[in-house]
Structure 1
Amino acid sequence: MKRVVYGLVAAMLASAFAGPARAGDAVEEARILFTAGAQAYEAGRYADAVDAFRAAHALTPERPTVLFSLAQAERRHFTVARDPAVLEAAITHFRSYLELVPEGGRRADVVAALGELQAIAASLEQKNIEASVSKARLLITTQTPGAVITIDGTERTTVPVIEAIAAGKHAVVVSAPGFIGETREIVAVEGAILPVEINLRERPSFLAVTAPRGASIQVDGRSQGEAPLVSPIELPSGAHVVTVAKRGHDPRTLRVMIERGGTNRLDVSLATTRQRRVSYGLVVGAGVAFVSGFALAVSSALQEDAAQRLLSRTEQGNIDLGTLEAYESARTSRDVLRTGAIGSFAMSTVFGVAAIATYWFDNPTPGPAGSGETARMERFARVVPMPGGAWIGVGGRF
């Protein structure tokens, strides 16, 4: 409901003060008065609304919307105060509106209101009432939510503040949670209404992010550096999207709400990716294959040495059949072990290359800011058995 009311007030302001201004200061003062009048009207404070609209109309008499709002406020005020002077003023201003707007506009509403008010006026005794005392009045408005207005040490929590005050200097203080307070000294003049608008500035808000060392941190798509951050991140209050990513870890995209005027803390942990765990497994596999290749190479060398010792006997003379068979067996074992060693070293190399590739390219990409999801490039490592050996394929899907 408040959004609808504020939308209507904004529309009335746009139409009431559209077009070139005669004098910038007068139009700005009239705008403040009109805003305060609209707020008072919506709050049912019709007397205050009449004062604000009357002052705005005096500054901008050519604005039909201001004139119509003044007459409507006087009409509502009369239903509460039952003051004939207010009734007469409402009738006069509605008639002035009809003269100012010869066609279109709110004429139909004005004609209906005039019929109602003139009927009431006909049944009342007409009196000319003139104000005998002229008072200084202060009007203070603000768009700051939760604002507390203090005048000479006395707090007011209802906006706008419209009240009679003594002529002279007064201290006005406006404060609100999460905003920087402001103090002004004003001078009230007897017989005049003094409009004042004070809108406060937000206090700075901060976000302290704790994440694994070396992790990159982004807020709303903008890089903030790597963890650990030197200092908290200054942000406006409200919703923000924080992305934390590190090579070899699943990135996280978090939606956080920053409170106004304080330091908010966010602790983010990252899980190791499956691809990184696969790379560690490949390193282990490469190590096992290398050790196996080394053992096979040593065994092959021993068999080669045994064959050479048997071969040296031929230089001393003929050898028997058993020695010849032992020699051939040693050579055969040497060749098998050598082939196994070469295959193991090759497997170790392939595993090592695959481990390096899966490790190096393990850099998941966070999803777009605001999605709340993690989009990453999927990579994989696969061991495929083949006749006479094995090979490893490294690939991926985007």
Structure 2
Amino acid sequence: MKSGSGRFKYTGWLCAVLIIIGLTFSGGCAGKEEVQPVEITVVHGWGGTAQTHKVVREIYQEFSALRPDVILKEQASSDSTIAVEKANDMLAVDRMPDVVSTNGLSYFVQNAVTKGMALDLMPYIEADDELKASIHPSVLESWTTEDGKLYTLPDALEVMGFWYNASFFREAGITDADGNVKLPDTWEEFFGDCERLDAWCEKQSSGMSVFALEDIQVVEDFLLARLAGASPEGLAMASAMPSDFDTPSFKRTLQDAARLYSYSQDVDNIDNARQAFLDGRSVIYFNGVWESDIFRGTGIEGEIGYAAYPTESGASLSYISPSSGYVVYDNPDPGRREASIEFLKYMLSTKVQNRLAIDTGQAPSNPNVDNAMIREDYPLLGNALEVAHGADLQIKSISSVWDAAAVDFLKVELPQACRTEEGRLRLVNGLNGQRGE
């Protein structure tokens, strides 16, 4: 009896413990809510069929794979102009996607800020050392407002010098004592080389010229490089919207724009300008380092090089410009805000930045990306980046420092007006007239 009673007490005690444990676990399970993934929408212009577009979409999709707690929905257009216009239309009815990739179309940044819908990214940057370290200093310098706010982060920089066909330079005799291409140090040397190349082109096929210029190239590539390289006065004018365009440096720049056209076969779009260079019908091609993605694997890849612009002083000059990038909606839902910030961190991470460079030819925005690694995997881009980043002077693109109205005016008027004294005077007065309005 004694032993039986003990067994009964032990069994009863064990059952009680099991019941308590069961109730504890069942209560815990009942109180535990299943975490739902956060959904964010990204509007972008990488919806085309080009390989670079496919790569960027793959990168976006990999974010979702890495972050199962975030569902990334894409609203893709075939180019950024269409995508940003759609996002801008949403602003008009007080709506905004979680993230908009402006890809240099900065008007959306200002519109979103004016509407009070753009998220100030600075508090997140200051609170996150990893994010802060992934942002190029020029981005903070260019896009931080006077009251210390930041509303956009690009995942690539605009890096620009000019492309040239080294074989043609050598055949025209523009070499040093060792037979290597001798690039110009000054603008007078540059135009002297143009004269020699023009004479050489005339001896070749009738379809060859030094340049195949599309008008926007002259405004967006040549104009500020020539102005900044003219004098300290010109550098100041190229660094911010001028208060007065009636200066010797600007007038000389307009005269040299006309000289540039005299060595060119005019084309009606950038695709034709690029094709002329690819086909060997032009010697020099103004555009950014991203063109390396198109030149890679072509017949001229081994014959082309990248150069910084000359200046009157002999210093080298390039464009290193942070255009507008991603804009985040100041969503009242903190979970969606945080998920959007995590997406930006992902796009600026060293791994993604390396892939953007190697697979799309874009210049990394993250200053920690090793250019030596890029040069090893992708010599054409790596060498171009090294040339541009190694320039003595670095300026920003015209759309980053001058008013949009002035840039648009030049794109329309400069191609013809720069060729005569009367036309150049009209340009100067027109630009100054805009400042007075």
- Common fold: TM-score over 0.5: no
Higher strand share: 1
**Larger Rg, first or second structure (1 or 2):** 1
Higher helix share: 2
Relative to the length of structure 1, the TM-score reads: 0.20
Relative to the length of structure 2, the TM-score reads: 0.19
**Which structure ranks higher in relative contact order (CA pairs < 8 Å, sequence separation ≥ 6)?**
2
